[in-house]
Amino acid sequence: MSDKIPCEIKVSRKENTLEAAFSGDWVLEAKLPPVQAGYDQFDSARTNDRLVFSTAGLGEWDSLLMTELIRLINHGATQGIKVDTTTLPAGIQGLLSLVYAVPERMDTRRPPDQTQGLAVLGNLALHVYKDFQVFMVFIGELAMSLFASVTGKAHFRPVDFWLNILECGPAALPIITVISVFIGLILAFVGAVQLGLFGAEIYIADMVGLGMSRDMGGLMAAIIMTGRTSATFAAELGSMQVNSEIDALKIMGFEPMTFLVLPRMLALILMLPLLCLYADFMGIAGGALVTVSFLDTSLTQYLDRTVAAVHLKDIAMGVVKCSVYGLLIALAGCLRGMQCGRSASAVGDATTSAVVTGIVFIVIADAVMTMICNRLGI
Amino acid sequence: MTTPYLTVKNLSLVYGDSVIQHDLNFTINRGEIFIIMGGSGCGKSTLFMHLIGLMQPVKGEVFYGDESLWQAEPEARKRMLRRTGVLFQSGALLSSMTLFENVALPLTEHTHLDAERIRDIVAYKLALVGLAGFEGYYPAELSGGMQKRAGLSRAMALDPEILFFDEPSAGLDPITAQLMDDLIRNLRDHLGATIVMVTHELDSILGIGDNSIFLDTETKTIIASGPPQQLLRESKDPRVIRFLTRDAKLGRQAAPKKPDSVTCE
């Protein structure tokens, strides 16, 4: 590899003929850039000059030589120089004829995207508006397909529904258990430090119980399911879009909304409140673990305090909130999946977007509902 | 013309417990267009994967020149495979990159060329396949034939000595398929590259093939080899004749004729 002769090109002038002489090995693996001499001859070139090539000293060659030749030919063409390629080896001439066989599409070179300043803001606003429209259309279509399946005009396969139930419910229990127990633990520890200041450790039970049931249980379950299931929905539907599977279903007479989206949405909407309840209890168990093992409180005391503090309406409120989250994250996942473009990176974008949209929805919905409950005094 | 470039010795293709092909022996010479043919499911694509180093043979050897592909150190294997270009059946362009980025990727990663030179090389490679000016396009915005040609242009990015094609004209209309064949032959003629094609397109096989092997599903090995035109004229094996004449029982003249002359405009 090291025994390559450095490549050189020399341009010289004889009357009105420019001669470009190539020598050395013109190969891509050469470490040194080509040595160019006499290119200034082109500056004084006139319209009727000729450009000829000499390859007497040329060794090995590949694309490096070809690009240099094409540069020269194109450069000559802009100056109106006549280019004579007949002295080149047959292989090179053949390749050149292939290169110039199809004229370059000039209109296809796109200027790089350069939006600046306020235009970015404007585009963002337009994007949000368009996204909102798409969202509304999606909800509309979903409502129609739900209506159609309730009235028996369309239906999805029960097996799809049960598979999704499995995926959205039991399959998520381990991760929900881990996260909820730890959230309960953390709440209890934080409470222990603060409440311990005035000897009110027993109220940890109130804090953990109310915190988990009113807000944290549902919130954690919803966020976990956004990352776990809503992302799966988006990725599944997105790759079906990429493989034209959704088109195939449409052609076979299946409405993708009914056939794909509805069973997924229903499964998640039905399962999330149950997961929320489960998370509530796991959180309370986590709190009990801390209180009983580190503080001077018995399990009976802790449970007694929890039962006194947490009312049915608190649990109900958490579950209702979580049902709303379920609807929103299922929507986010399916919407982004169905919107997916047709490339590998589009699937990634759809998944990311599903999770981001889902979490934004959850947080906004939580804030709104908490405010409403506050006003109503629930 | 007769220097062996790639030699396969006693190669067996195995998936799990099932043998797909056994005892394959053949030689691909420098500068020839070599066809691997056979019916669907005979293991053509599996053989292809073995040749380009994506699958390790359970038994047998693949030699590039004198070097065994799988006996060599991983570094040496990488170097051997660096000299090969592969066009996959669907083009396998990276969908999140423009054509420019697709073709430039191997150049930026494997060479020391400056940005301007890379731009010129990409323009040249795209022009070779008739896609001059399409640098800014994403693969999804192109037709199937254009995607294949773009894939070919990426396969050629590093000036490979051997080019592998998996079904280059599958899914293309007859005219585009013919153009693809012409392009392949032109590239062989002008670049001097060795070309290996896995295909069951009769027009390509008889039109541009210099040499070939025929894999059989039943006996699980090579049942015929040689220039396709010669096989068509002289083969006594009914399986080969049926394949090459598209089961035209009436006679061999039903097969497509080889184009008279090669033109490159």
**Where is mean pLDDT largest: A19-33, A330-344, B106-120?**
A330-344
pLDDT score recorded for residue A111: 58
Contact A51, A76 (CB under 8 A): yes
3-state SS, residue A249: helix
What ipTM was predicted for this assembly?
Answer: 0.70
Q: Which of A68, A97, A98 to mutate to test the interface with B (most CBs of B within 10 A)?
A: A98
pLDDT score recorded for residue A113: 63
Which of A217-221, B78-82, B181-185, B195-199 shows the lowest mean pLDDT across its residues? B78-82
Give per-residue pLDDT as tens, B136-147.
888 888 888 888
B143 touching A (Cβ < 8 Å): no
Provide the H-helix boundaries in A197-244.
204-211, 217-225, 231-242
Residue in chain A lying closest to B127 (CA): A99
Q: What is the mean pLDDT of residues B82-86?
A: 84
Local confidence band at B250 (pLDDT 50, 70, 90 cut-offs):
very low
Predicted model pTM:
0.69
Which of A29-33, B44-48, B110-114 shows the lowest mean pLDDT across its residues? A29-33
Residue type for position A91: G
Which of A34, A30, A31 lies closest to A20, judged by CA? Answer: A34
Residue in chain B lying closest to A343 (CA): B95
Contacts of A64 in chain B (CB under 8 A): 117, 121
Which of A9-23, A31-45, A219-233, B91-105 shows the lowest mean pLDDT across its residues? A31-45
What CA–CA distance (Å, rounded) separates B60 from B62?
A: 7
Q: What is the mean pLDDT of residues B223-235?
A: 84
What CA–CA distance (Å, rounded) separates A270 from A168?
A: 9
Please provide the DSSP assignment of A134-149 as one string: HHHHHHHHHHHHHHHH
Q: Backbone phi, then psi, for A202, in 5-degree steps?
A: -60, -25
Find the length of chain A. Answer: 378
**How is the beta sheet containing B59-64 ordered, strand by strand?**
B18-29, B4-15, B59-64, B67-68
pLDDT score recorded for residue A317: 92
**How is the beta sheet containing B194-198 ordered, strand by strand?**
B84-87, B162-166, B194-198, B33-38, B211-215, B222-225
| pLDDT higher than threshold 90 for residue A329 | yes
Which of B107, B132, B187 lies closest to A70, judged by CA? Answer: B132
Q: Which of A99, A100, A107, A244 to mutate to test the interface with B (most CBs of B within 10 A)?
A: A99
Local confidence band at A74 (pLDDT 50, 70, 90 cut-offs):
confident
**Residue B183: how many CB atoms within 10 A of its CB?**
20
Sign of the CA dihedral with B73 first, then B75, B81, and B83 last: negative
| pLDDT higher than threshold 60 for residue B258 | no
Local confidence band at B248 (pLDDT 50, 70, 90 cut-offs):
low
Q: What radius of gyration, in Å, describes the C-alpha atoms of chain A?
A: 35
Give per-residue pLDDT as tens, A289-323.
999 998 888 899 999 999 999 999 999 999 999 99
